[in-house]
Amino acid sequence: MRTADAAPRSAQRTWLWGALLALPTAWMVAFFVAGMVVVVLLSFGRTTNDGFPVFATSTANYRALWNEVYLELFLRSLLYALATVVLSALIAYPVAYAIALHGGRWKNALVAAIVVPFFASYLIRMYAWKALLSDDGLVNSGLRGSGLGDGVTFLNTPWAVIGGLVYGFVVFMILPVYASLERLDVSLIEAGKDLYHGPVRTFFSVTLPATRAGLYGGVLLVFLPALGDFVSAQLLGGAGTYMVGNLVQQQFAEGQNWPLGSAMTVGMMLALTVLMVAYLRATATEARES
């Protein structure tokens, strides 16, 4: 009896899923896939003398990517993005932990308090940082006023850029870590405390492994936008903090070279794909082993 009606029901279910998927699929094809196809096609294109990008079959844009300067920028951006990920994780864990385990009935309000500021445009928040951190800004005035030295040069340093990236994307680390901490059975931590005693050992032996999925997700969600960002370096950076995102943006604006910008985008996506596959494989293997 059960096997008899399983087949039509699953067919029905397949049909339902198909219908539900049609709209988002069409949406993604029209606005995401088509956009990507144009970028890939244009990466083999050129610019007419009037400044119009046109499709062609040239590999000149890819050959132009083999430039020491670009490689250096990519490595610098990688370093900034990794630093952003590490700092974000260091901030996200205590925050998520406090809310998930000690938030009580304020949990939702606290999560909202974290998320709501991120409704303000990233650009606006970067400008706000600029006002706060400038040499005569609020923070430095406060330092001087309280006699804590002569003020600190925050702006236009690599640290300002990384700080801006952390501020920009830390919420993408907090939320997944919070979600996995929420699901965590608190009795595990209590058991861990009984077994390992110290809170530090308990954290590393019980809490961290149990919330790994959230952390891994957060790492990707922070790393990817941080690596491609150009706003932080443009507004908070100095003469030596130019990032890959700035390079790409430049090609689509003043540089008047959409085809080269497209090739850079494709090259960057390929590099990121390799990094991501390596990362996913490594984390999957680790998950299997433990």
Partner 1 sequence: MTGGLAAGASLALPGCAYIRDDAPTDPPPPPSAKAEIDGDLVYFNWADYLAPSVVRGFQDEYGVKVVESNYDSMEGMYAKLAAGNQYDIVFPIAKWVVRLRREGKLRAIDPDELENADQVFYSGSYFNDPWYDAGSRVSVPFTVYKTGIGWRTDKVSSMTGSWQDLWNDEARGRIFTLDDQDEALAMAALLLGFDVNTAKPSELQEMKELLVSQKEYLRAYSSDDINNMVGGDAWVHHMWSGDFLYLQQGLADDPTAFDFEAPREGTPINSDTYAIPADARHPGTAMAFIDYLLRPENAIKNMGYLYYPFPVKDALPAFADLAKDVPACNVEVSDLENENVFRLLGADEVQRRAAMWTEVKAS
Please give the radius of gyration of the chain, using alpha carbons only, rounded to the nearest integer. Answer: 24
72 scored as a contact of partner 1 (CB under 8 A): yes
Question: Closest approach of Cβ 197 to partner 1, in Å?
Answer: 50
Nearer to partner 1, 70 or 196 (CB): 70
- Sequence-distant (6+) residues with CB within 8 A of 155 are 130, 133, 134, 135, 236, 238
Which string of b and e fits 153-185 if b means at least 16 CB within 10 Å? ebbbbbebbbbbbbbbbbbbbbbbbbbbbbebe
Which of 257, 263, 265, 267 binds partner 1 (CB under 8 A)? It is 257
Binding to partner 1 by CB under 8 A, coded x per residue (else -) over 137-176, reads x-----------------xx--------------------
Which of 5, 185, 254, 289 binds partner 1 (CB under 8 A)? It is 254
Tokens of 143: 């330092």
Binding to partner 1 by CB under 8 A, coded x per residue (else -) over 213-252, reads ---------------------xx-xxxx-x---xx--xxx
Helices (H), the chain: 2-28, 34-42, 60-65, 68-102, 107-115, 122-133, 138-145, 158-169, 171-183, 186-196, 199-202, 208-210, 212-228, 231-236, 244-252, 258-289
> According to CB under 8 A, which residues from 119 to 138 bind partner 1?
127, 130-131, 134-137
> According to CB under 8 A, which residues from 31 to 50 bind partner 1?
38, 41-42, 45-50
For residues 62 and 263, the answer to whether their CB atoms sit within 8 Å is yes
Which of 260, 263, 266, 268 binds partner 1 (CB under 8 A)? It is 260
Q: Which residues bind partner 1 (CB under 8 A)?
A: 38, 41-42, 45-57, 69-70, 72-73, 127, 130-131, 134-137, 155-156, 234-235, 237-240, 242, 246-247, 250-257, 260
